[in-house]
Amino acid sequence: EMRLKVVDETAYVTGTFTGSGITKLGSTLTSCDSGASSSALVASLDVSTTTAPTTANWVKLIGCGEGVDVTVSGDSLYVTGELDQDGVASALTPATGVDAATCTMAGGLKGYLAKLNKADGKCVWAKDAAPATRVATDGTHVWTGTHASSSVQYSETPTFSMTPQASSNQVFAAKYDAADGAGLWVDRLGGNGDSRLSALVITAAGPVFVGYTKSHSIEIGDVKANNLQHQRSSDANPDGQAGDSSMLMIQLSKTDKRTSSCITSCPSGKIDATTVIAPGFCLSGGSCIADGAAPLGAGCYKCQAAIDQFAVQGPILDNHCFFGGKCVEAGAGAPHYTSYNSYR
């Protein structure tokens, strides 16, 4: 699968490339492992003519993995995808005046977010990031979105992960500074039912996340939306499942700032080693958790502030089992996949 963004008569494409010594795109390209494994690709294509072949303005390989989404703002291109580097650094060609370290990724978070010059594909900055399926920008900030059924790591130092509160997939959103790629916040969207992201677009008011959800309701700040499909289904057929899913559309403000209540000091303006958490609390998944307490949806993890205030500890199996990346309370029914003879 490839994603593209067309601006005037230029198509910006990202996806996966596999091969050795391929010259059809105007450059000699060899993917990871001497062509045996896939590389994430991003390219600028001239689509001004109606006859083949399409002319490539430039083509870049980002690292071992897959390019997932691309968007354009002004003179810049923003790309996101997945890295499978096994700890091997991936270096992009830096733009003029950009330090090489700014465009080097270690691959430790299994994903990336990069800002490239639209004209030549050279790197302005590149960041190890949680894998994302969609990206949008207004030129000042960048938003990414994904959905997952297990914990997603957004930072290595300090360790910062988001754990679903839902029993299955949940939508996660993250916001970054477009100037340098600094992470600003990450949050859950979609409620406590299965929720999935299909699209992310930017509007004059802010980013809009589009997908579907089986949650009974969604609460973001002071705003609550009830799933009317659930009520309609219950009235028509109390024992049925019709109308279980509902369209999900959430618009966030471009200027919103999110600060968890247990953060007492954040001198850098982002969550990093200088952030100070109040005694007796952990910050996990964007939520403040009291010492000894568990985050919502993950009862086998606990805050142990004396060990680490930026992560919860676990899985702790005194009152829970741990199946497929999920905490299951002791005595509860086994996860649904056991009915298909899968006991991972």
**Mean pLDDT in the chain?**
84
DSSP H stretches of helix in the chain: 228-236
Q: In this predicted structure, what is the pLDDT of residue 197?
A: 94
List Cβ neighbours of 239 (8 Å cut-off, separation of 6 or more).
none
Of the chain, the percentage scoring pLDDT greater than 70 comes to 85
pLDDT score for 166? 63
pLDDT for the residue 325: 66
In order of 79, 190, 197, 269, 286, the CA distances from 254 in angstroms are 20, 19, 19, 17, 19
Q: Which of 142, 126, 143, 145 is nearest to 134 (CA)?
A: 145
Give CA–CA dist 83/131, Å, rounded.
Answer: 8
Q: Taking residues 62-91, what's their average pLDDT?
A: 89
pTM: 0.77
pLDDT at residue 343, rounded to an integer: 32
| Confidence band for 76, pLDDT divided at 50, 70 and 90 | very high
Distance from C-alpha of 62 to C-alpha of 204, rounded to nearest angstrom? 31
For the stretch 259-309, pLDDT in tens is 678 999 888 766 778 889 999 999 876 678 999 998 766 788 899 999 999
Identify the residue whose tokens are 């142990």: 304
pLDDT digits (tens, 9 = 90+) for 89-126: 788 999 999 999 999 998 888 899 999 999 999 999 99
pLDDT in tens, 308-319: 998 889 889 988
Q: pLDDT-derived band of residue 51, with 50, 70 and 90 as boundaries?
A: low
Interval 265-278: pLDDT, tens: 888 766 778 889 99
Over residues 219-255, the pLDDT tens digits come to 776 677 887 777 665 555 444 444 577 888 999 988 8
264: left (phi over 0), alpha (psi -120 to 50) or beta: alpha
pLDDT at 131 over 50: yes
What does the pLDDT read at residue 180? Answer: 94
